[in-house]
Every structure is written in C-alpha cells, then in structure tokens.
Amino acid sequence: MVVSGTASHVSQEDRDALLSLCYEVKNIFPSSHNRNCFGAKPNGKKCAETICELKDPSEHPGGC
C-alpha cells in the first residue's frame, strides 16, 4: 500500500484505521491525521483539538 500526499479522498474512519496500523504515516505526513488540518481551507480550531501538544497538559499527564 502506498500513501502519498494528504489522501484527501480517504474518510476519517479509514484514516484512523490506517494510522492505527501504520503510525509512521503521521510522522511522514503530520497533518494527515485529521482532514481539518490540511487543504485549501483548513479548520484550525478543529485541527488544534486533535493535536496532543496543543491540549491542556492535564488531559495527557503521561505526555504526548
């Protein structure tokens, strides 16, 4: 299987499944974890809600 670009045609459900099987994809394409984080009109607020480092530290006491 080859993943390239942002895979904008991939549903969020399939994207989550891919990342659970091949988490390296998130390292190669950091914004690909959520469709709100890329494209011509990204949704910054919704994207930020999915990024561990941008959440309140009390939500992830073990770190990201």
Instruction: Please give the chain's pLDDT, 64 residues, in tens.
Output: 456 666 667 787 887 887 788 767 766 666 667 778 877 788 889 888 888 878 888 887 787 7
CA distance 47 to 32: 10
| 39 occurs within a structural domain | yes
Domain that holds residue 18: 12-56
| 6 occurs within a structural domain | no
| 21 occurs within a structural domain | yes
What does the block give as tokens for 17?
A: 């499944």
The pTM for the full model equals 0.48
| 64 occurs within a structural domain | no
CA distance 26 to 18: 10
**Number of structural domains, the chain?**
1
Length of the chain in terms of residues written: 64
| 4 occurs within a structural domain | no
| 3 occurs within a structural domain | no
| 18 occurs within a structural domain | yes
| 63 occurs within a structural domain | no
